[in-house]
Structure 1
Amino acid sequence: MKKILLACSAGMSTSILVKKMLDEAFEQDIEVEIKATSVSEAKLIGDNWDIVLIGPQVAYELDGLKSALTKPVFTIDQTLYAKADGQKVLEFAMSNI
């Protein structure tokens, strides 16, 4: 099972995207664990996940997260984030794990 961690300021706005991604994973029969959290918590637990995706509103944290973690870290595309496009974000995450 793959594990995808989404992070934003407090983990609130990414929780909507997590729900959409989980719905898409269910429809595609993909076994995945997805969680929303804050950037500060992601720095502490991110290495326990296969990939960390951060919201575009905290893109300034990208370099700090990449320095703190050994796992892949990416900023979620702004348009996909705004649309809460669970399918495309899930595809992106799975292709970068």
Structure 2
Amino acid sequence: MKILVAAAAGMSTSLMVRKMEEYMTANGLVGVVDAVSVAEAKERIRECDVVLVAPQVRFELAGLHQIAEPLRIPVGGIPAPIFAGMKGEEAVRLAQDLIAQAAEPTS
């Protein structure tokens, strides 16, 4: 699983990525989490399975959705309580849920 965390790029995002990686390692989940700027996320969106958007750049969700939707790559916002609490497990589960929802057949 490849997760891009789109943010304004700062210390808090690096800490969130570390918490997500720690959870994945502790639970035998294979994957990579990268913190990138929104501009970089737009360029690298084809390389990932899911994009999570940090609360401080939540206003960028619509633009990322426009790029990701035709590629069937899910995009979701990280809720502020998850981000502020550095809840890596909850962020990874959010990513997993978004990937699962995107894989469901549409009727």
Please indicate the TM-score interval, normalised by the length of the shorter structure. Answer: over 0.9
**Correspondences of 1:82-93 after superposition (within 5 Å):** 82-93=84-95
Runs (4+) of structure 1 exceeding 3 A deviation are none
RMSD of equivalent CA atoms? 1.1
Cα offset, 1:12, TM superposition: 4.3
Name which of 85, 93, 96 aligns with 1:94. 96
% identical equivalent positions: 38
TM-superposition CA deviations, 1:10-55 (whole Å, max 9, x none): 2543211110010001110111111100000000001210000010
Q: Give the unaligned 5+ runs of structure 1.
A: none
Report if aligned partners of 2:76, 2:98 keep a CA contact under 8 Å in 1: no
- Count of matched residue positions in the alignment of Structure 1 and Structure 2: 96
TM-score, scaled to structure 1: 0.93
**Correspondences of 1:69-84 after superposition (within 5 Å):** 69=68, 70=71, 71-84=73-86
- C-alpha distance 11-46 of structure 1, shift in aligned 2 (>3 A): farther
In the alignment, which residue of structure 1 is the partner of 2:24? 25
Q: Give the unaligned 5+ runs of structure 2.
A: 100-107
Q: Larger helix proportion, structure 1 or 2?
A: 2
TM-score, scaled to structure 2: 0.84
Distance 1:76 1:63 in 2: 14
